[in-house]
Amino acid sequence: MTLRVYNYLSRQEETFEPLHPGFVGMYVCGPTVYGDAHIGHAKAYITFDVVHRYLEYLGYRVRYVQNITDVGHLVGDGDEGEDKIGRQARVERVEPMEIVESYTRNYFRDMDVLNVRRPDISPRASGHVPEQIELAQELLTKGHAYASNGNVYFSVPSWPTYGKLSRRKVDDLEEGARLEVAGDKRDPRDFAVWRAATSGHLMQWNSPWGKGFPGWHAECTVMARKYLGLPFDIHGGGLENIFPHNESEIAQSEAAYGGAFARYWLLNNMVTIDGTKMGKSQGNSLTVQQALTGKHDRLSQPYSPMTVRYFILSSHYRQTTDFTDEALSAAARGYERLLGTVGLVRQMLAKQDSHNSTIDAQFSATLVDLKTRFEEAMNNDFNTPQALAALFDFNRAVNTLVNSQQPVSSGTLEAIDNTYRQLGGDVLGIIPAEISTQGAGAAGLEDELVQILITLRTAARKNKDYATSDAIRDQLAAAGVILEDRPDGTVWKINR
């Protein structure tokens, strides 16, 4: 069995063969850190986390690079509008780097809780300005860019393969681009590699063209090359950024450095909420925190991080994931069923006083069958819904086994638990290594108890009984539960 992946560059499924045997270099476009992570981020980074984990399962050593965009990403995603970080800094009246710090921390906090393993390198755009200046210089030398009023623009007409990833024809681009103000560009399709800073711009660096800042696409071009070399194996990202971002990354790299950029392009599809495309402007967005706390008008209850992760993996990454309260509730129930059986197996295993390593002959066929189906699914372009279906069939068989009145050998239980740990834990990241002895409901109980205390504290404050309300807050804090009062109510987090 070999791994096959859908490569957006060829628009075909291809056999995956890394450039250097046994080693995979993977770059994934990271978040622009000007706001809290939303469920679109959750889908993207859970997707590539599972890609990362499955490649390791197959025995590859993976170097996973995922950038943090902290400068250069403009509001319009192209060359128009304010810098997203700069704008947020102005709104919150803080330094741009304070925005970057706080939202980068929130991003990792949210991804950690969703059990997304951290990338090996998380480089920041602002830490790679000299490399981006060099890229602009290289493009100027090779005649694929020109300087204009302190900007450096990539010349799209000078690069005939521009459009090969997004399959946009150059003429179509011209049609669309004509509507925009070309300004100091020679061709409306050209894009900025380096931008002149206006005096009010909060983030700027010296360059041969005056004070300025790098274009958004430049960072991924230089950071992927710096940490993975050219070409590298996998470039991941969200389908919505295929143009102009990914397209321009390729053009800049190939025009400046020659040869290919990335060999396989894996792009995840978007997330919708109740069937509608998510967008901040439409007031139709859902952050990871809102999903986890249930504080959102479309949600009836909070959902556990593992439910969110399981729900995202229950559709294929190249399909749209529709977040609805109903679908999440169903996912929560399905997930609890799975975890309930895992917990039961572990409790039975813990109670065995003598070890019998024999694995039940009949059940070992079930184990082999699961592994085969699971690998087939994952080798088929990381088909996680199929892999989960195999895991659930297995789970049903385990249920039948442990609920029969026949004794089950500790060897069989151990083999079952190891399988859960490997496929459900290591690869899919949905089965924790430790489940509380009280079973799957324990995490929900903790939630409920904290909610009861929050309600009591709110009541105390309403009655101006500040001694009681402060005591509740302080004692929860001592236990590692931090309360945070917000205009829409009190939220809590664990800080141990």
Least distance to Zn ion, CB of residue 79, Å:
16
Are 61 and 22 in contact by the 8 Å Cβ rule? The answer is yes
CA angle (91 as vertex; 89, 92 as ends), nearest 5: 65
**Number of amino acids touching Zn ion (CB under 5 A):** 2
- Does 173 bind Zn ion (CB under 5 A)? Our answer is no
- Residue partners of 257: CB distance under 8 A and separation at least 6: 138, 225, 230
| Paired tokens of 398 | 């385990």
DSSP assigned state of 282: G
Helices (H), ranges, 15-72 = 39-57
Q: Which is nearer to Zn ion, 29 or 306 (CB)?
A: 29
Least distance to Zn ion, CB of residue 29, Å:
3
- How many other CB atoms are there within 10 angstroms of residue 264's CB atom? 22
Q: Which of residues 220-279 bind Zn ion (CB under 5 A)?
A: 220
Least distance to Zn ion, CB of residue 224, Å:
8
Could you tell me whether strands 271-273 and 321-323 are parallel, antiparallel, or unpaired per DSSP bridges?
A: parallel
DSSP assigned state of 36: -
Q: What is the sign of the dihedral through the CA atoms of 157, 227, 36 and 96?
A: negative
Least distance to Zn ion, CB of residue 256, Å:
16
Q: Which is nearer to Zn ion, 248 or 379 (CB)?
A: 248
Q: Which is nearer to Zn ion, 77 or 101 (CB)?
A: 77
Q: Which is nearer to Zn ion, 44 or 431 (CB)?
A: 44
Q: How big, in percent rounded to 5, are the helix, strand and coil portions of the chain?
A: 50, 15, 35
Least distance to Zn ion, CB of residue 30, Å:
7
Q: Which is nearer to Zn ion, 29 or 147 (CB)?
A: 29
Least distance to Zn ion, CB of residue 156, Å:
18
- How many other CB atoms are there within 10 angstroms of residue 161's CB atom? 12
Q: Which is nearer to Zn ion, 220 or 454 (CB)?
A: 220
Phi, psi for residue 104 in degrees, rounded to 5: -70, -45
Least distance to Zn ion, CB of residue 65, Å:
11
Mark 208-227 with x for binding to Zn ion (rule: CB under 5 A) and - for no binding.
------------x-------
Least distance to Zn ion, CB of residue 354, Å:
56
CA 56 to chain centre: 18
Q: Which is nearer to Zn ion, 220 or 308 (CB)?
A: 220
| Paired tokens of 23 | 């080693």
Q: What is the sign of the dihedral through the CA atoms of 9, 258, 119 and 247?
A: negative
Q: Which is nearer to Zn ion, 238 or 425 (CB)?
A: 238
Q: Which of residues 28-57 bind Zn ion (CB under 5 A)?
A: 29
Per DSSP, the residues of 284-343 read B--BHHHHHH--STT-SS---HHHHHHHHHTS-TTS-EEE-HHHHHHHHHHHHHHHHHHH
Least distance to Zn ion, CB of residue 376, Å:
32
Q: Which is nearer to Zn ion, 220 or 388 (CB)?
A: 220
Chain length of the chain:
496
Least distance to Zn ion, CB of residue 248, Å:
9
Are 181 and 190 in contact by the 8 Å Cβ rule? The answer is no
Least distance to Zn ion, CB of residue 215, Å:
11
Q: Which is nearer to Zn ion, 29 or 136 (CB)?
A: 29
Beta bridge partner(s), residue 20: 23
DSSP assigned state of 157: G
Q: Which of residues 11-30 bind Zn ion (CB under 5 A)?
A: 29
Q: Which is nearer to Zn ion, 29 or 288 (CB)?
A: 29
| Binding positions for Zn ion, rule: CB under 5 A | 29, 220
